[in-house]
Amino acid sequence: MTGTKNIVALVVLRIVFGMVLFISTIRFMVKGWVDEFYIAPKFHFPFQGFEWVRPLPAAGMYIVFATMLLTSLMITAGLFYRWAVAVFLFCFTYVELIDKTFYLNHYYFVSLFVFLLLLVPANRYFSLDVLRRPSLRTDRVPAWTILIFQVQLCLVYFFAGLSKLNPDWLLRAMPLRIWLPANTGLPVIGPLLGKVWVAYVFSWFGAVFDLSIGFLLLYGSTRRVAYVFVILFHVLTACLFKIGMFPWIMIAATTIFFSMSFFSWGFRAAVPATPSSPTPLSPPAPPSLHSPQTVVRKNLRFGLLALYFLLQVLVPFRYLLYPGHLFWTEEGYRFSWRVMLMEKSGTDFFYVKDPLTGRRGEVNTGKYLTPLQERMMATQPDMILQYAHYLKRVYQKKGMTDPVVTVESYVTLNGSGSRLYIDSTVDLAKQPENVYHKTWILPFIENK
């Protein structure tokens, strides 16, 4: 964590990642998702503890997205860099917290990466900030400013690989066995994708890739080959699966592993490799780095970073605290780099009963949720509970004093065939929303 490194890797990351943020934000807006995801729905599924995060009216949401566009460009250009990063981080995370329906691992990744960008001086070279204040310019940055991104990426890939070490993925080639045959229309590789053995090859290769790629990128001797694999792997997944910006975000993020010598290789130009021994920052660093409190700040920073990475390591393991089959209950599933592991789908019928009259009716969920919300909720018990509580409030407003809310829910997981998911006799209106195990999730029944 000591010593300095050439700033170039950080600058390339700032430019490339800033551009990817800009493109994803534009893409999100062009597809009409601001309206579809955050303005149209009557009800949102907030994250636990963030129930106070509410969407703004339409104009406000569009202002938030416009702000993200602007600040992502400012990040790329390195203009008022720290402010731009802070504002982007705030806006992006705010939007993600509104509704867990739209949670994606790579959105979580963007929040984390932008948070790390906030900590480093990526604007101190080749930026508009340097043009404004030439004294900012430096060639060297502390090694930790680059290392934190590398460690973060290693964790992401490694945990993604670890999560693939399960019987469905390795022994049954699920869910790739379902997903790959859909691409038989692709040129060249298309016809192969219908074959079961190909699904096994993809599954095992994917697991090995995820487990090892972080380390292969870390070491100089394997880095070049590893990056070629990064590009090939992510381009392939982009062509095969509907995963949006994820591949591009990862290809952009992994540029942080490049060293100066890699650039000279990349351009076949004779740029001398940077010495690994620490050299003084040149020109003299600005006051912020050399103030009397430097030591305190430094210790504080390392302490906070240590805590941050400790959490990054622990959070994906929290599922061990829950009983049952993780993919079925999804207790401790999010924020753990579990990507593309399940073909899971469900249908549910919600019932509201008035205990005073004994009348029981089936709710037309299409009236309250968008189709996408309904689909995402169908397979996630915490969302089913949130919706049940929402229905309770709706019917209380309609004059029912104590509505009993139950659900008849059928879910299929990796081709298991649909089965009852939630205990249909339990009054969900009375169940608490908390982090404890939800006893009303029925156990997963394995098929032979």
Partner 1 sequence: MRRKTFLFSAAICLLLTGIFFSCSKSGGGSNPGGGTTAKDSILANIGNNIILPAYLSLSASTGSLDSATLDFNTGPNAAKLSALQSLFKTAYLSWESASEYDGFGPAYTNQPILSGLNLFPTNNTLIESNISAGNNNVNAFANAAAKGFPALDYLLFGGGANTLAGFTTGSGAANRKAYLAAVSADIKVESNAALKGWQASGGNYIATFLSGTGNSVSSSLGLLINSMVQDFEVGKNDRLGIPLGKQPPGQVLPVLPNEVEAYYSGISVQLALAQLKAVQNIFLGVGVQGAGPGLKDYLVKANAQYHGGPLADTIKASFASAVSGLQAIPDPFSVTIQNNPAPTTAVYVTFQQLVVLLKTDMPSALGVLITFGDNDGD
Closer residue to partner 1 (CB): 297 or 359? 359
Choices 210-218, 292-300, 345-353, 381-389; region in contact with partner 1 by CB under 8 A: 345-353
Residues 14-53: x where in contact with partner 1 by CB under 8 A, - otherwise, as a string:
-xx--xx--x-------x-x--x-----------------
375 lies in the binding site for partner 1 (CB under 8 A): yes
Nearest one of 43, 44, 39 to 61, comparing CA atoms: 39
DSSP state of 166: S
Can you spell out the DSSP letters for 283-350? SPPPHHHHSTTHHHHHHHHHHHHHHHHHHHHHGGGGGGGS-S-HHHH-TT-SSS---S---EEEEEEE
Which phi and psi angles does 402 have, rounded to 5°? Answer: -135, 65
Long-range contacts of residues 226-229, Cβ cutoff 8 Å, at least 24 apart: 226/257, 227/254, 227/257, 227/258
255 lies in the binding site for partner 1 (CB under 8 A): yes
Choices 202-210, 247-255, 381-389, 427-435; region in contact with partner 1 by CB under 8 A: 247-255
Retrieve residue 410's tokens: 């059928």
Kindly state the number of chain residues that form the binding site for partner 1, as judged by CB under 8 A: 86
By CB under 8 A, the residues from 153 to 182 that bind partner 1 are: 175, 178-179, 181-182
Distance CA 267, CA 222 (A): 18
By CB under 8 A, the residues from 348 to 367 that bind partner 1 are: 349, 351-354, 357-364, 366
Residues 185-204: x where in contact with partner 1 by CB under 8 A, - otherwise, as a string:
xxx-----------------
Closer residue to partner 1 (CB): 93 or 365? 365
Choices 218-226, 233-241, 278-286, 382-390; region in contact with partner 1 by CB under 8 A: 233-241
Task: List strand residue ranges (DSSP E) for 1-58, in order.
Answer: 4-6
By CB under 8 A, the residues from 74 to 103 that bind partner 1 are: 102
Closer residue to partner 1 (CB): 104 or 305? 104
Interacting residue with partner 1 among 281, 395, 407, 428 (CB under 8 A): 395
347 lies in the binding site for partner 1 (CB under 8 A): yes
Are the C-beta atoms of 203 and 166 separated by less than 8 Å?
no
Closer residue to partner 1 (CB): 351 or 437? 351
271 lies in the binding site for partner 1 (CB under 8 A): yes
5 lies in the binding site for partner 1 (CB under 8 A): no
Name the minimum Å distance from CB 56 to partner 1: 21
Distance CA 108, CA 313 (A): 15
Strands 404-413, 419-420: pairing is: antiparallel
Helix 81-98 and helix 105-119: axis angle, to 10°? 160
DSSP state of 439: T
Closer residue to partner 1 (CB): 13 or 426? 13
By CB under 8 A, the residues from 277 to 306 that bind partner 1 are: none
Closer residue to partner 1 (CB): 7 or 85? 7
Interacting residue with partner 1 among 69, 170, 238, 305 (CB under 8 A): 238
Closer residue to partner 1 (CB): 263 or 437? 263
Are the C-beta atoms of 160 and 237 separated by less than 8 Å?
no
Name the minimum Å distance from CB 83 to partner 1: 22
Can you spell out the DSSP letters for 59-74? HHHHHHHHHHHHHHHH
Choices 115-123, 140-148, 405-413, 424-432; region in contact with partner 1 by CB under 8 A: 405-413
Closer residue to partner 1 (CB): 125 or 144? 125
Nearest one of 331, 260, 264, 361 to 10, comparing CA atoms: 260
Name the minimum Å distance from CB 106 to partner 1: 6
Give SS3 for 410.
strand
Closer residue to partner 1 (CB): 305 or 424? 424
371 lies in the binding site for partner 1 (CB under 8 A): yes
Interacting residue with partner 1 among 273, 415, 436, 439 (CB under 8 A): 415
Provide CB contacts within 8 A for 195, sequence distance 6+: none
Closer residue to partner 1 (CB): 220 or 361? 361
The helix (H) or strand (E) run that includes residue 248 is helix 246-253
For the purposes of burial, counting CB atoms within 10 Å of the CB of 73, is it exposed (0-12), middle (13-18) or buried (19 or more)? middle
Which phi and psi angles does 335 have, rounded to 5°? Answer: 55, 35
Closer residue to partner 1 (CB): 288 or 364? 364
Interacting residue with partner 1 among 1, 58, 165, 235 (CB under 8 A): 235
DSSP state of 4: E
Name the minimum Å distance from CB 252 to partner 1: 7
By CB under 8 A, the residues from 100 to 139 that bind partner 1 are: 102, 104-106, 125-126, 139
Strands 140-142, 404-413: pairing is: unpaired
